[in-house]
């Protein structure tokens, strides 16, 4: 009975009063013989029936919604673009209503010729990250007496994604290649590009690795051995425990994750981003970081929702990035003891850098055991605090 529901919703309070007049007039005319009541009922019925053609039939207008950009950083200007056209000789509406989240924008439409069109723009709020629902665009069709009204949907809904703000970091900031930073790897390999030394030949060695000139001088076969070239795979661990953040610290933390993640991608490093586990013994929750857009889209809708902080998140992510660098992102309310526990929770050989998001704080860097602790008060401070954080190991 969808048609009945639609018909019921189209009747205004004035329309219900007229229908009541029709019913009462007929009853009074039949029971008491009142001619006046019958006249009133007929007049009310004429008004109701005369209102029907005003809300049915062909569309009075067509519309399309566009966005100046479907994805924008926080604080960047964004516009919703609404194009309204007149397809037929029917009168065009004077206004089009556009839903923007929980609000409604009213767009004034001038008189249009048949086939004419007009473009209207509406500024969108991008002061906070997240998803903004734009649309649908609708018009209200009603009769001159306000008996019936029908909201006609002209467009579908579009979505604006507001990303956290990120900054560009200098090359190499997304990960730490310790072999190139001065710390030689302890292990040796027989197949790589970084020559280390010569050793005596052992049964099973590849004869192609024999250094014949040195062997001739030494009087015994010597083979080349190399240092392994290791790629600085990047792991970013984000605490989503609201107890570890104050004010807008979490928003800054997301900007840090996005900035470090994009830096790793720019350096063509393997990247994995995880957040706090849902349960005490559960695994760290992955954040989609397959591409730049997918990472920023995921951060746009991420909220503090776990009861487990950075220490549990670091422990739950053990083994995710052996032989790489781990960025541990948390808020300003975490005590040093918890930060030390988080840094110590990473596997041996992983370079841990703890980054505290503390909006308004002066940028600083300190040592906490074997880990660097960088305090960032604004996203622009990150590159200044990165100069020594893990760069000299």
Structure confidence at residue 391 (pLDDT): 43
- β-pair partners for 148: 11
Structure confidence at residue 35 (pLDDT): 86
Would you state the structure tokens that stand for residue 384, as one six-digit string? 């200044």
> How far is CA 34 from its chain centroid?
69
Structure confidence at residue 179 (pLDDT): 39
Task: Report the Cα–Cα distance between both ends of the chain, in Å, rounded.
Answer: 73
Cα gap 44→23, rounded to integer Å: 10
| pLDDT tens, per residue, the chain with 393 residues | 676 776 787 788 888 998 999 999 998 888 888 888 889 999 999 998 888 887 776 556 889 999 999 999 999 999 999 999 988 877 677 889 999 988 999 999 898 888 899 999 999 999 999 999 999 999 887 778 888 888 888 899 999 999 999 998 876 555 544 433 334 444 444 444 455 578 888 887 887 888 888 888 888 888 877 655 555 688 999 999 999 999 999 999 999 999 999 999 988 888 999 999 988 888 889 999 999 999 999 999 999 988 899 999 999 887 555 557 889 999 999 999 999 999 888 877 788 899 999 999 999 888 887 788 999 999 988 876 555 444 433
Would you state the structure tokens that stand for residue 220, as one six-digit string? 């015994």
Cα gap 110→118, rounded to integer Å: 8
Structure confidence at residue 382 (pLDDT): 82
pLDDT digits (tens, 9 = 90+) for 229-275: 555 688 999 999 999 999 999 999 999 999 999 999 988 888 999 99
pLDDT digits (tens, 9 = 90+) for 66-111: 999 999 999 999 999 999 998 887 767 788 999 998 899 999 989 8
Closest CA to 57 of 137, 143, 117: 143
Structure confidence at residue 131 (pLDDT): 96
**Secondary structure (DSSP) of 152-171:** EE-S--EEEEEEPP--PPPT
Q: How many CB atoms lie within 10 A of CB 273?
A: 27
Structure confidence at residue 79 (pLDDT): 96
Would you state the structure tokens that stand for residue 158, as one six-digit string? 């579009």
Structure confidence at residue 255 (pLDDT): 96
Tokens 């422990």 belong to residue: 315
φ and ψ at 275, to 5 degrees? -120, 180
Structure confidence at residue 392 (pLDDT): 39
């Amino acid at each position: 009975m969808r048609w009945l529901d639609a018909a019921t919703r189209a009747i205004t309070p004035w329309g219900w009063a007229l229908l009541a007049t029709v019913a009462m007039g007929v009853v009074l005319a039949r029971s008491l013989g009142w001619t006046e009541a019958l006249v009133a009922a007929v007049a009310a019925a004429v008004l109701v029936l005369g209102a029907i053609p005003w809300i049915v039939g062909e569309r009075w207008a067509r519309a399309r919604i566009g966005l100046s950009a479907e994805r924008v950083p926080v604080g960047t200007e964004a516009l919703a673009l609404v194009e309204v056209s007149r397809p037929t000789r029917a009168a065009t509406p004077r206004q089009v209503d556009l839903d923007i989240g929980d609000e409604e924008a009213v767009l004034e439409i001038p008189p249009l010729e048949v086939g004419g069109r007009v473009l209207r723009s509406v500024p969108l709020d991008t002061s906070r990250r997240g998803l903004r629902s734009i649309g649908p665009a609708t018009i209200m069709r009603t009769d001159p007496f306000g008996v019936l009204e029908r909201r006609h949907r002209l467009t579908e809904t579009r979505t604006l994604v507001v990303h956290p703000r990120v900054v560009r970091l200098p090359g190499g900031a997304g990960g730490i290649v310790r072999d190139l930073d001065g710390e030689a790897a302890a292990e040796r390999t027989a197949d790589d590009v970084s020559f280390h030394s010569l050793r005596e030949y052992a049964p099973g060695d590849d004869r192609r690795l024999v250094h014949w000139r040195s062997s001739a001088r030494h009087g015994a076969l010597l083979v080349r051995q190399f240092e392994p070239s290791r790629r600085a795979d990047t792991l970013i661990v984000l605490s989503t425990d609201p107890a570890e953040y104050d004010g807008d610290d979490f928003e800054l933390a997301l900007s840090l994750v996005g900035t470090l993640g994009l830096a790793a991608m720019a350096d063509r490093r393997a990247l994995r981003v995880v957040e706090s586990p849902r349960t005490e013994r559960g695994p760290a929750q992955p954040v989609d970081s397959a591409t730049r857009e997918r990472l920023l889209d995921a951060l746009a809708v991420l909220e503090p929702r776990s009861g487990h902080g950075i220490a549990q998140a670091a422990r739950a992510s053990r083994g995710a990035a052996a032989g790489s660098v781990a960025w541990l992102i948390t808020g300003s309310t975490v005590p040093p003891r918890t930060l030390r526990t988080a840094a110590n929770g990473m596997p041996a050989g992983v370079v841990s850098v703890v980054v505290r998001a503390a909006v308004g704080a002066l940028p600083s860097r300190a040592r906490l055991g074997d880990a660097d602790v960088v305090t960032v008060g604004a996203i622009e401070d990150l590159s200044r605090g990165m100069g020594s954080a893990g760069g000299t190991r």
